[in-house]
Protein backbone atom coordinates (compact mmCIF):
# COMPACT_ATOMS: atom_id res chain seq x y z
CA UNK A 1 0.00 0.00 0.00
CA UNK A 2 2.69 2.46 1.02
CA UNK A 3 4.72 1.52 -2.02
CA UNK A 4 1.70 2.09 -4.26
CA UNK A 5 1.16 5.61 -2.92
CA UNK A 6 4.85 6.27 -3.41
CA UNK A 7 4.70 5.07 -7.02
CA UNK A 8 1.60 7.08 -7.85
CA UNK A 9 3.00 10.29 -6.37
CA UNK A 10 6.21 9.70 -8.33
CA UNK A 11 4.20 9.42 -11.56
CA UNK A 12 2.20 12.55 -10.73
CA UNK A 13 5.40 14.53 -10.12
CA UNK A 14 6.93 13.26 -13.36
CA UNK A 15 3.94 14.23 -15.48
CA UNK A 16 3.79 17.63 -13.80
CA UNK A 17 7.40 18.21 -14.88
CA UNK A 18 6.58 17.07 -18.42
CA UNK A 19 3.65 19.50 -18.45
CA UNK A 20 6.06 22.28 -17.43
CA UNK A 21 8.36 21.33 -20.32
CA UNK A 22 5.50 21.52 -22.80
CA UNK A 23 3.82 24.58 -21.30
CA UNK A 24 5.21 27.26 -23.66
CA UNK A 25 4.24 25.23 -26.71
CA UNK A 26 0.71 24.59 -25.43
CA UNK A 27 0.23 28.21 -24.40
CA UNK A 28 1.53 29.49 -27.73
CA UNK A 29 -0.99 27.37 -29.61
CA UNK A 30 -3.87 28.41 -27.31
CA UNK A 31 -2.91 32.08 -27.61
CA UNK A 32 -2.87 31.99 -31.39
CA UNK A 33 -6.68 31.56 -31.28
CA UNK A 34 -7.12 34.39 -28.79
CA UNK A 35 -9.47 37.19 -29.84
CA UNK A 36 -7.67 40.02 -28.12
CA UNK A 37 -4.07 40.96 -28.69
CA UNK A 38 -2.93 41.25 -25.08
CA UNK A 39 -2.42 37.57 -24.20
CA UNK A 40 -4.47 37.96 -21.03
CA UNK A 41 -5.51 34.93 -19.04
CA UNK A 42 -8.09 33.48 -19.31
CA UNK A 43 -8.42 34.14 -23.08
CA UNK A 44 -11.31 36.44 -23.96
CA UNK A 45 -12.65 34.66 -27.00
CA UNK A 46 -11.96 32.46 -29.98
CA UNK A 47 -10.83 33.94 -33.26
CA UNK A 48 -8.97 32.99 -36.42
CA UNK A 49 -8.14 36.58 -37.28
CA UNK A 50 -4.36 36.21 -36.75
CA UNK A 51 -4.18 33.33 -39.19
CA UNK A 52 -6.18 35.34 -41.72
CA UNK A 53 -3.78 38.25 -41.27
CA UNK A 54 -0.85 35.93 -41.91
CA UNK A 55 -2.33 34.96 -45.28
CA UNK A 56 -1.97 38.56 -46.48
CA UNK A 57 1.27 39.45 -44.68
CA UNK A 58 3.97 39.41 -47.34
CA UNK A 59 6.86 40.10 -44.94
CA UNK A 60 6.25 37.04 -42.79
CA UNK A 61 5.67 34.86 -45.82
CA UNK A 62 8.93 36.02 -47.37
CA UNK A 63 10.80 35.28 -44.13
CA UNK A 64 9.32 31.82 -43.91
CA UNK A 65 10.35 31.13 -47.50
CA UNK A 66 13.92 32.26 -46.74
CA UNK A 67 13.97 29.96 -43.69
CA UNK A 68 12.68 26.97 -45.66
CA UNK A 69 15.15 27.54 -48.50
CA UNK A 70 18.16 27.82 -46.21
CA UNK A 71 17.10 24.85 -44.08
CA UNK A 72 16.40 22.63 -47.09
CA UNK A 73 19.66 23.37 -48.91
CA UNK A 74 21.68 23.08 -45.68
CA UNK A 75 20.05 19.80 -44.66
CA UNK A 76 20.74 18.37 -48.12
CA UNK A 77 24.38 19.44 -48.14
CA UNK A 78 24.63 18.23 -44.53
CA UNK A 79 23.74 14.65 -45.42
CA UNK A 80 25.76 14.82 -48.64
CA UNK A 81 28.92 15.75 -46.71
CA UNK A 82 28.13 14.05 -43.41
CA UNK A 83 27.16 10.56 -44.57
CA UNK A 84 30.48 9.70 -46.27
CA UNK A 85 32.39 11.20 -43.35
CA UNK A 86 30.47 9.10 -40.81
CA UNK A 87 30.96 6.02 -42.99
CA UNK A 88 34.72 6.59 -43.19
CA UNK A 89 35.05 7.05 -39.42
CA UNK A 90 33.02 3.92 -38.64
CA UNK A 91 34.25 1.55 -41.33
CA UNK A 92 37.91 2.39 -41.87
CA UNK A 93 40.15 1.90 -38.90
CA UNK A 94 42.73 4.59 -39.28
CA UNK A 95 44.91 6.44 -36.84
CA UNK A 96 43.13 9.38 -35.31
CA UNK A 97 39.60 8.34 -36.22
CA UNK A 98 38.51 8.94 -32.63
CA UNK A 99 40.10 12.34 -32.63
CA UNK A 100 38.38 13.17 -35.91
CA UNK A 101 35.06 12.12 -34.45
CA UNK A 102 35.57 14.47 -31.49
CA UNK A 103 36.51 17.21 -33.93
CA UNK A 104 33.30 16.77 -35.93
CA UNK A 105 31.15 16.74 -32.80
CA UNK A 106 32.93 19.71 -31.19
CA UNK A 107 30.45 22.38 -32.43
CA UNK A 108 27.92 20.80 -30.05
CA UNK A 109 30.17 21.63 -27.11
CA UNK A 110 31.62 24.96 -28.15
CA UNK A 111 29.50 28.09 -27.67
CA UNK A 112 27.82 29.07 -30.90
CA UNK A 113 27.78 32.75 -29.90
CA UNK A 114 31.58 32.84 -29.89
CA UNK A 115 31.76 30.99 -33.17
CA UNK A 116 29.17 33.36 -34.69
CA UNK A 117 31.24 36.33 -33.52
CA UNK A 118 34.31 34.90 -35.24
CA UNK A 119 32.26 34.04 -38.29
CA UNK A 120 30.90 37.56 -38.87
CA UNK A 121 34.42 39.01 -38.75
CA UNK A 122 35.92 36.24 -40.83
CA UNK A 123 33.21 36.25 -43.49
CA UNK A 124 33.55 39.99 -43.71
CA UNK A 125 37.11 39.61 -45.04
CA UNK A 126 36.72 36.38 -47.06
CA UNK A 127 35.94 37.31 -50.61
CA UNK A 128 34.71 35.43 -53.62
CA UNK A 129 35.44 37.62 -56.61
CA UNK A 130 35.06 41.15 -55.29
CA UNK A 131 32.32 40.72 -52.73
CA UNK A 132 32.65 39.46 -49.17
CA UNK A 133 30.61 36.35 -48.41
CA UNK A 134 29.04 37.92 -45.33
CA UNK A 135 25.28 38.13 -45.70
CA UNK A 136 25.22 36.01 -48.86
CA UNK A 137 23.24 32.86 -49.48
CA UNK A 138 26.49 30.94 -49.88
CA UNK A 139 27.78 32.23 -46.53
CA UNK A 140 24.57 31.28 -44.73
CA UNK A 141 24.41 27.83 -46.30
CA UNK A 142 28.00 27.00 -45.39
CA UNK A 143 27.49 28.12 -41.78
CA UNK A 144 24.22 26.22 -41.45
CA UNK A 145 25.80 23.11 -42.96
CA UNK A 146 28.42 23.23 -40.19
CA UNK A 147 25.66 23.61 -37.58
CA UNK A 148 23.90 20.53 -38.96
CA UNK A 149 26.93 18.29 -39.64
CA UNK A 150 27.60 17.16 -36.04
CA UNK A 151 24.01 15.90 -35.76
CA UNK A 152 24.10 14.15 -39.15
CA UNK A 153 27.49 12.54 -38.48
CA UNK A 154 26.40 11.33 -35.03
CA UNK A 155 23.10 9.96 -36.33
CA UNK A 156 24.60 8.17 -39.34
CA UNK A 157 27.33 6.69 -37.11
CA UNK A 158 24.64 5.41 -34.76
CA UNK A 159 22.76 3.75 -37.62
CA UNK A 160 26.01 2.23 -38.92
CA UNK A 161 26.63 0.68 -35.53
CA UNK A 162 23.09 -0.77 -35.48
CA UNK A 163 23.70 -2.42 -38.84
CA UNK A 164 25.16 -5.91 -39.31
CA UNK A 165 28.65 -5.47 -40.79
CA UNK A 166 28.75 -9.06 -42.12
CA UNK A 167 26.25 -8.12 -44.83
CA UNK A 168 28.87 -5.79 -46.33
CA UNK A 169 31.58 -8.46 -46.12
CA UNK A 170 29.26 -10.97 -47.77
CA UNK A 171 28.51 -8.60 -50.63
CA UNK A 172 32.20 -7.84 -51.15
CA UNK A 173 33.24 -11.49 -51.04
CA UNK A 174 30.54 -12.32 -53.57
CA UNK A 175 32.29 -9.99 -55.98
CA UNK A 176 30.39 -6.71 -55.68
CA UNK A 177 32.69 -3.70 -55.71
CA UNK A 178 32.73 -1.29 -52.72
CA UNK A 179 30.59 1.31 -54.50
CA UNK A 180 27.95 -1.24 -55.46
CA UNK A 181 28.06 -2.63 -51.92
CA UNK A 182 27.54 0.80 -50.42
CA UNK A 183 24.56 1.71 -52.58
CA UNK A 184 23.08 -1.79 -52.72
CA UNK A 185 23.52 -2.92 -49.11
CA UNK A 186 24.80 -0.27 -46.73
CA UNK A 187 22.83 2.77 -47.80
CA UNK A 188 19.39 1.13 -47.77
CA UNK A 189 20.10 -0.20 -44.26
CA UNK A 190 21.33 3.12 -42.83
CA UNK A 191 18.82 5.27 -44.72
CA UNK A 192 16.60 5.76 -41.61
CA UNK A 193 19.58 7.36 -39.84
CA UNK A 194 20.33 9.53 -42.87
CA UNK A 195 16.68 10.56 -43.09
CA UNK A 196 16.57 11.44 -39.38
CA UNK A 197 19.77 13.45 -39.91
CA UNK A 198 18.13 15.36 -42.75
CA UNK A 199 14.87 16.04 -40.87
CA UNK A 200 16.61 16.97 -37.63
CA UNK A 201 19.15 19.07 -39.53
CA UNK A 202 16.34 20.90 -41.29
CA UNK A 203 14.73 21.70 -37.93
CA UNK A 204 17.99 22.83 -36.34
CA UNK A 205 18.70 25.15 -39.26
CA UNK A 206 15.11 26.36 -39.45
CA UNK A 207 15.01 27.37 -35.78
CA UNK A 208 18.51 28.83 -35.48
CA UNK A 209 18.69 32.39 -34.20
CA UNK A 210 22.20 32.80 -32.84
CA UNK A 211 24.36 32.25 -35.91
CA UNK A 212 21.82 33.59 -38.39
CA UNK A 213 21.28 36.85 -36.50
CA UNK A 214 25.02 37.47 -36.63
CA UNK A 215 25.76 36.65 -40.26
CA UNK A 216 22.38 36.93 -42.00
CA UNK A 217 22.74 40.57 -42.85
CA UNK A 218 19.72 42.45 -44.15
CA UNK A 219 19.00 40.39 -47.23
CA UNK A 220 18.29 37.00 -45.69
CA UNK A 221 16.12 37.49 -42.64
CA UNK A 222 14.86 34.11 -41.52
CA UNK A 223 11.60 33.83 -39.64
CA UNK A 224 13.10 33.25 -36.14
CA UNK A 225 15.54 36.14 -36.63
CA UNK A 226 12.68 38.42 -37.71
CA UNK A 227 10.76 37.36 -34.57
CA UNK A 228 13.79 38.02 -32.40
CA UNK A 229 14.44 41.53 -33.63
CA UNK A 230 10.72 42.42 -33.72
CA UNK A 231 10.13 41.34 -30.13
CA UNK A 232 13.14 43.30 -28.97
CA UNK A 233 12.14 46.47 -30.77
CA UNK A 234 8.32 46.41 -30.85
CA UNK A 235 7.21 43.76 -28.39
CA UNK A 236 5.24 40.63 -29.07
CA UNK A 237 2.83 40.66 -32.01
CA UNK A 238 -0.12 38.20 -31.89
CA UNK A 239 0.43 37.58 -35.58
CA UNK A 240 3.95 36.32 -34.79
CA UNK A 241 2.46 34.06 -32.14
CA UNK A 242 0.01 32.60 -34.66
CA UNK A 243 2.74 31.89 -37.23
CA UNK A 244 4.95 30.33 -34.54
CA UNK A 245 1.99 28.19 -33.50
CA UNK A 246 1.67 26.89 -37.07
CA UNK A 247 5.41 26.13 -37.15
CA UNK A 248 5.40 24.30 -33.84
CA UNK A 249 2.33 22.26 -34.82
CA UNK A 250 4.10 21.16 -38.01
CA UNK A 251 7.28 20.33 -36.06
CA UNK A 252 5.29 18.29 -33.51
CA UNK A 253 3.47 16.33 -36.23
CA UNK A 254 6.70 15.63 -38.15
CA UNK A 255 8.43 14.54 -34.92
CA UNK A 256 5.73 12.02 -34.09
CA UNK A 257 5.59 10.69 -37.66
CA UNK A 258 9.37 10.17 -37.50
CA UNK A 259 9.01 8.40 -34.17
CA UNK A 260 6.17 6.16 -35.33
CA UNK A 261 7.81 5.19 -38.63
CA UNK A 262 11.56 5.05 -37.99
CA UNK A 263 11.82 5.39 -34.16
CA UNK A 264 13.95 8.48 -34.45
CA UNK A 265 14.45 8.82 -30.69
CA UNK A 266 17.07 6.07 -31.05
CA UNK A 267 19.23 8.51 -32.99
CA UNK A 268 18.68 11.78 -31.14
CA UNK B 1 36.38 -6.14 -43.24
CA UNK B 2 39.73 -5.77 -44.97
CA UNK B 3 40.26 -2.57 -46.86
CA UNK B 4 43.64 -1.70 -48.26
CA UNK B 5 42.98 1.53 -50.07
CA UNK B 6 44.15 4.51 -48.05
CA UNK B 7 42.81 7.03 -50.50
CA UNK B 8 39.13 6.10 -50.07
CA UNK B 9 38.66 7.30 -46.47
CA UNK B 10 40.52 10.51 -47.24
CA UNK B 11 38.24 11.18 -50.20
CA UNK B 12 35.16 10.41 -48.11
CA UNK B 13 36.30 12.71 -45.30
CA UNK B 14 37.69 15.53 -47.44
CA UNK B 15 34.49 17.59 -47.89
CA UNK B 16 33.64 17.49 -44.18
CA UNK B 17 37.18 18.34 -43.12
CA UNK B 18 37.42 21.18 -45.64
CA UNK B 19 34.19 22.85 -44.60
CA UNK B 20 35.10 22.45 -40.92
CA UNK B 21 38.53 23.97 -41.38
CA UNK B 22 37.31 26.91 -43.45
CA UNK B 23 34.01 27.67 -41.73
CA UNK B 24 34.48 26.39 -38.19
CA UNK B 25 38.17 26.52 -37.25
CA UNK B 26 39.26 29.56 -39.25
CA UNK B 27 36.78 31.98 -37.60
CA UNK B 28 38.10 31.01 -34.14
CA UNK B 29 41.65 31.71 -35.28
CA UNK B 30 40.57 34.99 -36.80
CA UNK B 31 38.91 35.82 -33.48
CA UNK B 32 42.22 35.39 -31.66
CA UNK B 33 43.94 37.83 -34.03
CA UNK B 34 41.07 40.29 -33.85
CA UNK B 35 41.26 40.40 -30.05
CA UNK B 36 44.76 41.90 -30.32
CA UNK B 37 43.84 44.56 -32.86
CA UNK B 38 42.90 48.17 -32.35
CA UNK B 39 39.29 49.34 -32.57
CA UNK B 40 38.93 52.27 -34.95
CA UNK B 41 35.23 52.69 -35.46
CA UNK B 42 32.16 50.46 -35.81
CA UNK B 43 33.02 47.24 -37.66
CA UNK B 44 36.48 48.56 -38.52
CA UNK B 45 39.66 47.63 -36.75
CA UNK B 46 43.29 48.51 -37.38
CA UNK B 47 45.60 45.54 -37.66
CA UNK B 48 48.28 46.59 -35.20
CA UNK B 49 49.21 44.50 -32.19
CA UNK B 50 47.82 45.86 -28.94
CA UNK B 51 46.79 44.55 -25.53
CA UNK B 52 44.27 47.34 -24.97
CA UNK B 53 41.21 45.07 -25.30
CA UNK B 54 42.43 42.75 -22.59
CA UNK B 55 43.48 45.65 -20.40
CA UNK B 56 39.98 47.12 -20.76
CA UNK B 57 38.49 43.73 -19.87
CA UNK B 58 40.55 43.32 -16.71
CA UNK B 59 40.32 46.90 -15.51
CA UNK B 60 36.55 47.39 -15.50
CA UNK B 61 34.54 45.33 -12.95
CA UNK B 62 31.42 45.81 -15.12
CA UNK B 63 32.61 43.03 -17.43
CA UNK B 64 33.43 40.77 -14.50
CA UNK B 65 29.94 41.25 -13.17
CA UNK B 66 28.57 40.01 -16.50
CA UNK B 67 30.79 36.92 -16.31
CA UNK B 68 29.78 36.31 -12.72
CA UNK B 69 26.05 36.77 -13.35
CA UNK B 70 26.24 34.37 -16.30
CA UNK B 71 28.14 31.86 -14.24
CA UNK B 72 25.80 32.13 -11.25
CA UNK B 73 22.62 31.81 -13.34
CA UNK B 74 24.12 28.84 -15.19
CA UNK B 75 24.97 26.99 -11.99
CA UNK B 76 21.49 27.54 -10.52
CA UNK B 77 19.78 26.64 -13.79
CA UNK B 78 21.89 23.48 -14.27
CA UNK B 79 21.15 22.26 -10.73
CA UNK B 80 17.38 22.81 -11.01
CA UNK B 81 17.43 21.22 -14.47
CA UNK B 82 19.20 18.19 -13.00
CA UNK B 83 16.68 17.85 -10.16
CA UNK B 84 13.72 18.01 -12.55
CA UNK B 85 15.26 15.90 -15.33
CA UNK B 86 16.26 13.02 -13.09
CA UNK B 87 12.81 11.66 -12.10
CA UNK B 88 11.35 11.92 -15.61
CA UNK B 89 14.44 10.27 -17.11
CA UNK B 90 14.11 7.48 -14.57
CA UNK B 91 10.42 7.03 -15.44
CA UNK B 92 11.07 7.08 -19.20
CA UNK B 93 14.04 4.69 -18.97
CA UNK B 94 11.77 1.96 -17.56
CA UNK B 95 9.00 2.31 -20.16
CA UNK B 96 8.42 -0.36 -22.84
CA UNK B 97 10.22 0.55 -26.13
CA UNK B 98 7.28 2.02 -28.10
CA UNK B 99 5.98 4.21 -25.28
CA UNK B 100 9.54 5.18 -24.36
CA UNK B 101 10.15 6.56 -27.85
CA UNK B 102 6.92 8.55 -27.84
CA UNK B 103 7.52 10.13 -24.43
CA UNK B 104 11.17 10.83 -25.35
CA UNK B 105 9.94 12.65 -28.45
CA UNK B 106 7.47 14.54 -26.26
CA UNK B 107 10.13 15.84 -23.89
CA UNK B 108 12.53 16.58 -26.78
CA UNK B 109 10.00 19.02 -28.29
CA UNK B 110 11.48 22.18 -26.71
CA UNK B 111 14.82 21.29 -28.29
CA UNK B 112 13.18 20.61 -31.65
CA UNK B 113 11.07 23.77 -31.51
CA UNK B 114 14.10 25.96 -30.81
CA UNK B 115 14.72 28.68 -28.25
CA UNK B 116 12.74 31.39 -30.02
CA UNK B 117 9.39 29.60 -29.85
CA UNK B 118 9.92 28.65 -26.19
CA UNK B 119 10.81 32.24 -25.27
CA UNK B 120 7.70 33.53 -27.06
CA UNK B 121 5.48 31.08 -25.19
CA UNK B 122 6.96 32.13 -21.85
CA UNK B 123 6.68 35.78 -22.76
CA UNK B 124 2.92 35.53 -23.28
CA UNK B 125 2.57 33.73 -19.95
CA UNK B 126 4.79 36.15 -18.02
CA UNK B 127 3.03 39.31 -19.10
CA UNK B 128 1.37 41.21 -16.20
CA UNK B 129 -2.08 39.88 -17.19
CA UNK B 130 -0.72 36.60 -18.54
CA UNK B 131 -1.34 33.01 -17.52
CA UNK B 132 1.14 32.71 -14.63
CA UNK B 133 -0.20 35.73 -12.76
CA UNK B 134 -3.77 34.81 -13.70
CA UNK B 135 -3.50 31.30 -12.29
CA UNK B 136 -1.53 32.25 -9.17
CA UNK B 137 -4.00 35.07 -8.37
CA UNK B 138 -7.10 32.96 -8.91
CA UNK B 139 -5.69 30.19 -6.73
CA UNK B 140 -4.94 32.73 -4.04
CA UNK B 141 -1.26 31.82 -3.93
CA UNK B 142 -0.26 35.45 -4.47
CA UNK B 143 -2.15 38.61 -3.56
CA UNK B 144 -0.55 41.00 -6.00
CA UNK B 145 0.76 40.60 -9.53
CA UNK B 146 4.34 39.41 -9.72
CA UNK B 147 6.91 40.60 -12.22
CA UNK B 148 8.64 37.89 -14.21
CA UNK B 149 9.73 39.66 -17.38
CA UNK B 150 13.01 41.45 -16.86
CA UNK B 151 13.90 39.43 -13.75
CA UNK B 152 16.36 36.62 -13.14
CA UNK B 153 13.49 34.40 -11.93
CA UNK B 154 11.78 34.78 -15.30
CA UNK B 155 14.97 33.92 -17.16
CA UNK B 156 15.56 30.87 -14.95
CA UNK B 157 12.02 29.55 -15.49
CA UNK B 158 12.62 29.72 -19.25
CA UNK B 159 16.16 28.34 -19.17
CA UNK B 160 15.35 25.29 -17.05
CA UNK B 161 12.43 24.37 -19.28
CA UNK B 162 14.49 24.72 -22.47
CA UNK B 163 17.39 22.66 -21.18
CA UNK B 164 15.63 19.70 -19.54
CA UNK B 165 15.77 17.74 -22.86
CA UNK B 166 19.52 18.30 -23.10
CA UNK B 167 19.96 16.87 -19.60
CA UNK B 168 17.37 14.15 -19.97
CA UNK B 169 18.50 12.45 -23.20
CA UNK B 170 21.91 11.24 -21.93
CA UNK B 171 20.33 10.40 -18.56
CA UNK B 172 17.62 8.23 -20.15
CA UNK B 173 20.33 6.35 -22.03
CA UNK B 174 22.48 5.75 -18.97
CA UNK B 175 19.54 4.89 -16.67
CA UNK B 176 18.14 2.56 -19.32
CA UNK B 177 21.46 0.72 -19.53
CA UNK B 178 21.26 -0.31 -15.85
CA UNK B 179 20.35 -3.98 -15.57
CA UNK B 180 16.86 -4.16 -13.98
CA UNK B 181 17.76 -7.43 -12.25
CA UNK B 182 20.16 -5.46 -10.05
CA UNK B 183 17.21 -3.58 -8.61
CA UNK B 184 15.19 -6.74 -8.17
CA UNK B 185 18.12 -8.37 -6.39
CA UNK B 186 18.50 -5.40 -4.09
CA UNK B 187 14.78 -5.38 -3.30
CA UNK B 188 14.51 -9.12 -2.76
CA UNK B 189 17.42 -8.91 -0.35
CA UNK B 190 15.30 -6.54 1.68
CA UNK B 191 16.66 -3.10 0.73
CA UNK B 192 14.11 -0.27 0.78
CA UNK B 193 13.36 1.53 -2.52
CA UNK B 194 15.30 4.54 -1.26
CA UNK B 195 18.32 2.48 -0.35
CA UNK B 196 18.18 0.71 -3.72
CA UNK B 197 18.09 4.10 -5.39
CA UNK B 198 21.00 5.60 -3.50
CA UNK B 199 23.24 2.55 -3.57
CA UNK B 200 22.46 1.03 -6.99
CA UNK B 201 20.75 3.42 -9.39
CA UNK B 202 22.40 6.72 -8.50
CA UNK B 203 26.05 5.59 -8.67
CA UNK B 204 25.46 3.73 -11.94
CA UNK B 205 23.77 6.73 -13.55
CA UNK B 206 26.60 9.15 -12.76
CA UNK B 207 28.27 9.00 -16.22
CA UNK B 208 25.03 10.01 -17.97
CA UNK B 209 24.29 12.62 -15.34
CA UNK B 210 27.73 14.15 -15.74
CA UNK B 211 27.59 14.35 -19.52
CA UNK B 212 24.09 15.84 -19.26
CA UNK B 213 25.25 18.38 -16.71
CA UNK B 214 28.27 19.42 -18.74
CA UNK B 215 26.13 19.84 -21.87
CA UNK B 216 23.50 21.80 -19.96
CA UNK B 217 26.00 23.98 -18.16
CA UNK B 218 27.75 24.88 -21.43
CA UNK B 219 24.43 25.65 -23.08
CA UNK B 220 23.46 27.82 -20.11
CA UNK B 221 26.72 29.76 -20.19
CA UNK B 222 26.13 30.86 -23.76
CA UNK B 223 22.37 31.34 -23.47
CA UNK B 224 21.34 34.27 -25.53
CA UNK B 225 17.81 34.20 -26.91
CA UNK B 226 16.05 33.35 -23.63
CA UNK B 227 17.77 36.01 -21.47
CA UNK B 228 17.41 38.76 -24.03
CA UNK B 229 13.70 38.04 -24.61
CA UNK B 230 12.66 37.20 -21.04
CA UNK B 231 15.19 39.58 -19.50
CA UNK B 232 13.87 42.41 -21.69
CA UNK B 233 17.39 43.75 -22.14
CA UNK B 234 17.54 44.55 -18.41
CA UNK B 235 19.71 41.61 -17.46
CA UNK B 236 22.93 41.43 -19.36
CA UNK B 237 24.57 38.00 -19.64
CA UNK B 238 27.54 36.87 -21.68
CA UNK B 239 25.63 36.00 -24.88
CA UNK B 240 23.48 39.11 -24.96
CA UNK B 241 26.46 41.34 -24.19
CA UNK B 242 28.49 39.84 -27.04
CA UNK B 243 25.58 40.40 -29.40
CA UNK B 244 25.23 44.00 -28.26
CA UNK B 245 28.97 44.72 -28.57
CA UNK B 246 29.37 42.98 -31.91
CA UNK B 247 26.16 43.90 -33.72
CA UNK B 248 24.89 47.15 -32.16
CA UNK B 249 28.18 48.78 -31.13
CA UNK B 250 30.37 47.03 -33.68
CA UNK B 251 33.42 46.83 -31.45
CA UNK B 252 34.82 43.61 -32.83
CA UNK B 253 38.28 43.65 -31.16
CA UNK B 254 36.84 44.06 -27.68
CA UNK B 255 33.97 41.59 -28.12
CA UNK B 256 36.56 39.07 -29.36
CA UNK B 257 38.73 39.51 -26.27
CA UNK B 258 35.64 39.35 -24.06
CA UNK B 259 34.54 36.06 -25.72
CA UNK B 260 37.95 34.42 -25.77
CA UNK B 261 38.54 34.97 -22.11
CA UNK B 262 35.12 33.52 -21.37
CA UNK B 263 35.94 30.51 -23.53
CA UNK B 264 39.05 30.00 -21.44
CA UNK B 265 37.03 30.07 -18.20
CA UNK B 266 34.56 27.60 -19.74
CA UNK B 267 37.30 25.20 -20.72
CA UNK B 268 38.84 25.25 -17.26
CA UNK B 269 35.41 24.76 -15.64
CA UNK B 270 34.56 21.82 -17.91
CA UNK B 271 37.90 20.19 -17.22
CA UNK B 272 37.67 20.65 -13.45
CA UNK B 273 34.07 19.49 -13.17
CA UNK B 274 34.65 16.29 -15.11
CA UNK B 275 37.77 15.61 -13.05
CA UNK B 276 35.92 16.17 -9.75
CA UNK B 277 32.97 13.98 -10.71
CA UNK B 278 35.31 11.21 -11.81
CA UNK B 279 37.00 11.20 -8.42
CA UNK B 280 33.63 11.27 -6.64
CA UNK B 281 32.51 8.28 -8.68
CA UNK B 282 35.69 6.42 -7.83
CA UNK B 283 35.22 7.03 -4.12
CA UNK B 284 31.59 5.81 -4.30
CA UNK B 285 32.68 2.56 -5.90
CA UNK B 286 35.39 2.09 -3.31
CA UNK B 287 32.87 2.73 -0.54
CA UNK B 288 30.55 0.10 -1.99
CA UNK B 289 33.28 -2.49 -2.21
CA UNK B 290 34.31 -2.02 1.41
Share of chain A above pLDDT 90, in %: 59
pLDDT in tens, B188-197: 888 887 888 8
Strands (E) across B38-149 are located at 38-41, 44-46
Interface probe for A, chosen from B113, B138, B192, B262 (most Cβ of A below 10 Å), is: B113
ipTM value: 0.90
Number of separate domains in chain B: 1
Check A207 against B28: CB less than 8 A apart: no
Does residue A14 lie in a domain region? no
Does residue A11 lie in a domain region? no
CA distance A56 to chain B (A): 22
- Taking alpha carbons only, the member of A76, A67, A68 closest to residue A198 is A76
Does residue A24 lie in a domain region? no
Closest residue in B to A29 (Cα) is B121
Domain span at residue B150 reads 51-289
Check B13 against A115: CB less than 8 A apart: no
pLDDT in tens, B173-223: 999 988 888 888 888 888 887 888 888 888 888 888 888 998 899 899 988
Instruction: Give the pLDDT mean for B283-289.
Output: 65
Does residue B115 lie in a domain region? yes
Does residue A168 lie in a domain region? yes
Q: Which of B100, B116, B224 sits opposite A224 (nearest CB)?
A: B116
Give me the pLDDT at residue B61, please. Answer: 94
Give me the pLDDT at residue B131, please. Answer: 87
Confirm or reject contact between B180 and chain A (CB < 8 A): no
Does residue B178 lie in a domain region? yes
Domain span at residue A242 reads 58-266
pLDDT of residue B2 exceeding 70, the answer is no
**pLDDT confidence tier of residue B1, bands split at 50, 70 and 90:** very low
**pLDDT confidence tier of residue A151, bands split at 50, 70 and 90:** very high
Does residue A44 lie in a domain region? no
Does residue A7 lie in a domain region? no
DSSP letters of A43-79?
---B--HHHHHHHH-HHHHHHHHHHHHHHHHHHHHHH
Q: Is A214 exposed, middle or buried (0-12, 13-18, 19+ CB in 10 A)?
A: buried
CATH of the domain at A82: 1.10.3720.10
CATH of the domain at B215: 1.10.3720.10
Amino acid sequence: MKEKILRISFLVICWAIILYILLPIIVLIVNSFNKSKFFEFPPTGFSLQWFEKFLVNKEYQASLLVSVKIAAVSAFSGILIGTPAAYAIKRYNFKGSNLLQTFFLSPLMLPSVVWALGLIQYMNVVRIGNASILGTFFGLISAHTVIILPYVIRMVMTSLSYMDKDLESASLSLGANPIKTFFGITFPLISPGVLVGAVFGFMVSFTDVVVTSFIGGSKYITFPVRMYSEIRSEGLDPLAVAVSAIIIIILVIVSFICEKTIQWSRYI
Amino acid sequence: MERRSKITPILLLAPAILIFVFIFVAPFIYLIFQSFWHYETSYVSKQVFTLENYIKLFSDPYYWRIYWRTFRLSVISTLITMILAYPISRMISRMPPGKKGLVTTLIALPMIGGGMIQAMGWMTMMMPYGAINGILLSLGIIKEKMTFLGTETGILIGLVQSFIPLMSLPLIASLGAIDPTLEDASKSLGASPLRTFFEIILPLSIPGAVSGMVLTFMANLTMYVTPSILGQGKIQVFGSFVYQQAISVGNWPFSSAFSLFFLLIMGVTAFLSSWITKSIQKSIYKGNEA
